[in-house]
């Protein structure tokens, strides 16, 4: 593989709205990100993915952009953005912005012009279609619930497509004029010194416009027609035009046949966030116990690596702003403790690929279940709630499911210290702080060398250690103990190093056959490593990163 600077990425994702407010309006801002750059540097991250800070009416917290060349006033100004890029650079950190180009906001000037004249220039920037038999053009369901089509005001039988909310009309990537505008905008941002982009919902850019109705898959008569708007044939042709920028695509389900086109040497992206291994939740009745979920997770991780097979770099992550917190997602309550919390990130941190952490993950932030549906604020949550009720669930059942699955858990404000509102704001936070902040916060963990925060720093330092980094980046991956339930283990090997990564999700630990000779214990969530001549004992939820003899 040809070496690139970004292979060394240890990324840190920031959801700016919930990171740090500096002007008391209850909303996190760019100055707040600047305030904490030293902490991100101390963690060892060298890339920040900033969730959208562009001008937006905030129907989907910035994933609905109304001006691609402006910063939303709630986050600050263009000057703040430039300062952030410069201050980050001083610390060896590059900034990735979150580019949302599958759709714009309905408040974007293009869409406003399109509404005035759906058959003119800007109408062609979006997807307008005639309805059929007095209904929408077809029965695709939006990813956020309800029809994927919305009637154009003032027309009897004209609709526009939105695979997310109706305030997020899809852009028409078949139109070269639109593509040019977007590429120009990307170049302007790159000129400001960005490291690159995370590309939102990118596998949806290309659609298969066969307007037949599909068999309904729910009581609403719609069909979640994913195969018609995700990873559709021809997608790579559109994306290739973007390949000069450093890009990490949000890419749902990259198949074996897509690898070359998507992240190969001449692929469309540097890397992708794929969700195969993050979809599940231990509280889903399908699992009900930590070990069963871990075994499946292990199999999925290794399967994904096998598919890529050294042809490109996956992006390994556990959390983001669209998922509940990883401790609650992977570990049953009875399995949650400081050992298992430290073990969890080690499971994928040393796999081939780049890595990303999400704000608050490094201190073990947790889900924040609500007492009532009114406690949530995200539009899609309410759409899910309505669907569950329509499917016959009671209010309590629907709430339970949402409390388990909601992406809003990861959006509670960052818990900096034990002062009012966790030090996030001097005002009223836009979304309530998790009440556990008096105990669980950054400052408390900073004072405790045994804390999760310190462990994350050690973990990043091991990965970035000069004499090991190349092995973690380009060394061979050898899965180990693959058939032992409750063990997730692998080896990374090249001519310089042989590193064994061992983790267990077993509450009683396990003794494994072991023939390696340990040279150095690089990382351990216990004080002891119980390795004998022929066996190694993994203590409950232990993780070990061992440099062993070649």
- Which residues make up the interface to ligand NOJ (CB under 6 A)? 60, 63, 100, 164, 200-201, 250, 321-322
Give every CB contact of residue 278 below 8 A, 6+ residues apart in sequence: 317, 318, 323, 329
Q: CA 185 → CA 111, 178, 429, distances in Å? A: 17, 11, 33
Closer Cβ to ligand NOJ, 97 or 331, answer by number: 97
| DSSP conformation class of 374 | G
**Distance between first and last Cα of the chain:** 23
- Going by their DSSP bridges, the two strands 67-71 and 535-538 should be labelled as unpaired
Q: Looking at beta carbons only, is 29 or 60 nearer to ligand NOJ?
A: 60
d(CA 206, CA 222): 20
Tokens (6 digits) for 8: 């060394």
* Shorter beta-carbon distance to ligand NOJ: residue 250 or 445: 250
Helix axes 466-474, 452-464, angle to 10 degrees: 80
Minimal distance in Å, beta carbon 73 to ligand NOJ? 21
The strand pair at 196-199 and 247-250 is best described as: parallel
Shortest Cβ 548–ligand NOJ spacing (Å): 39
Q: How far is the CB of 316 from ligand NOJ (least distance, A)?
A: 17
Q: How far from 36 is each of 10, 48, 271, CA to CA, in Å?
A: 17, 12, 26
Q: Which of 170, 250, 258, 295 is catalytic?
A: 250
The Cα 185–Cα 175 span in angstroms is: 16
Residue 1's nearest CA partner among 487, 496, 470, 349 is 470
**Nearer to ligand NOJ by C-beta: 65 or 462?**
65
For the CB of residue 319, give the shortest distance to ligand NOJ in the complex, in Å.
12
Report residue 172: phi and psi, to 5°: -95, 95
Contact 514, 528 (CB under 8 A): no
Smallest distance, ligand NOJ to C-beta of residue 100, A: 5
* Cβ neighbours of residue 97 closer than 8 Å, sequence gap 6 or more: 50, 52, 53, 54, 189, 194, 197, 198
| Nearest distance from C-beta of residue 164 to ligand NOJ, angstroms | 4
Q: What is d(CA 387, CA 389) in angstroms, rounded to the nearest whole number?
A: 5
Clarify whether 508 is annotated catalytic: no
Closer CB to ligand NOJ, residue 161 or residue 201? 201
**200 is an active site residue:** yes
**What is the smallest separation between the CB atom of 296 and ligand NOJ, expressed in angstroms?**
24
d(CA 346, CA 505): 12
Q: Which is nearer to ligand NOJ, 262 or 440 (CB)?
A: 262
Backbone angles phi, psi at 56, to 5 degrees: -165, 145
State which residue, 150 or 200, has the beta carbon closest to ligand NOJ.
200
Q: Out of 21, 64, 167, 200, pick the active-site residue.
A: 200
Strand order across the beta sheet in which 158-161 lies = 128-130, 158-161, 149-151
Q: Which is nearer to ligand NOJ, 165 or 505 (CB)?
A: 165
Could you tell me where the beta strands, DSSP code E, fall in 318-373? 354-358
**Least distance between ligand NOJ and beta carbon 25 (Å):** 22
The residues annotated as belonging to the active site are 200, 250
């Amino acid at each position: 593989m040809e070496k690139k600077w970004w292979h060394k990425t240890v990324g840190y994702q920031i959801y700016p709205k919930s990171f740090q407010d500096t002007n008391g309006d209850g909303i996190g801002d760019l100055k707040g990100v600047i305030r904490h750059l030293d902490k991100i540097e101390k963690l060892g991250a060298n890339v920040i993915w900033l969730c959208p800070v562009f001008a937006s009416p905030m129907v989907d917290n910035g994933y609905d952009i109304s001006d691609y060349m402006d910063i939303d006033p709630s986050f600050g100004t263009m000057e703040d953005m430039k300062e952030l890029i410069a201050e980050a650079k001083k610390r060896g950190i590059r900034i990735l912005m979150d580019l949302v180009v599958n759709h714009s906001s309905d408040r974007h000037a293009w869409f406003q012009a399109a509404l005035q004249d759906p058959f003119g220039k800007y109408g062609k920037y979006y997807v307008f279609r005639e309805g059929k038999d007095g209904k929408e053009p077809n029965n695709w369901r939006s990813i956020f619930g309800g029809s994927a089509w919305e009637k154009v005001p003032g027309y009897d039988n004209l609709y526009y497509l939105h695979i997310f909310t109706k305030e997020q009309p899809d852009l028409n990537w078949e139109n070269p004029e639109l593509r040019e505008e977007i590429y120009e905008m990307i170049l302007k941002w790159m000129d400001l010194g960005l490291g690159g982009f995370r590309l939102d919902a990118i596998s949806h850019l290309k659609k298969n416009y066969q307007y037949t109705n599909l068999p309904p898959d729910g009581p609403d008569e719609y069909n979640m027609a994913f195969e018609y708007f995700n990873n559709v044939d021809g997608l790579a042709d559109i994306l290739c035009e973007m390949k000069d920028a450093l890009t990490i695509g949000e890419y749902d389900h990259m198949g074996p046949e897509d690898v070359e086109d998507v992240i190969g040497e001449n692929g469309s992206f540097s890397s992708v966030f794929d969700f195969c291994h993050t979809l599940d939740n231990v509280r889903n009745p399908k699992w009900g116990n930590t070990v069963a979920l871990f075994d499946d997770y292990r199999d999925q991780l290794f399967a994904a690596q096998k598919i890529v097979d050294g042809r490109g770099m996956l992006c390994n992550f556990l959390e983001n702003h669209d998922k509940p917190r990883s401790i609650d997602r992977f570990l049953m309550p009875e399995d949650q403790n400081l050992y298992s919390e430290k073990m969890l990130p080690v499971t994928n941190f040393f796999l081939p690929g780049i890595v990303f952490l999400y704000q608050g993950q490094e201190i073990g932030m947790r889900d924040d279940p609500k007492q009532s549906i009114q406690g949530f604020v995200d539009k899609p949550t309410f759409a899910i709630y309505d669907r569950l009720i329509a499917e016959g669930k009671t209010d309590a059942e629907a709430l339970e499911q949402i409390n388990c699955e909601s992406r809003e858990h990861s959006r509670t404000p960052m818990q900096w210290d034990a002062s009012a509102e966790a030090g996030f704001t001097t005002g009223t936070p836009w979304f309530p702080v998790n009440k556990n902040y008096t105990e669980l916060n950054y400052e408390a963990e900073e004072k405790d060398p045994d804390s999760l925060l310190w462990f994350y720093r050690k973990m990043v330092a091991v990965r970035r250690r000069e004499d090991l980094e190349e092995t973690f980046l380009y060394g061979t991956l050898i899965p180990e103990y693959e058939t032992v339930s409750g063990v997730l283990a692998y080896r990374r090997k090249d001519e310089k190093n042989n590193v064994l990564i061992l983790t267990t999700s077993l509450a009683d630990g396990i003794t494994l056959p072991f023939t390696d000779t340990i040279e150095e214990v690089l990382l351990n969530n216990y004080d002891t490593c119980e390795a004998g001549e022929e066996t190694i004992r993994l203590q409950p939820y232990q993780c070990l990163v061992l440099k062993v003899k070649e």
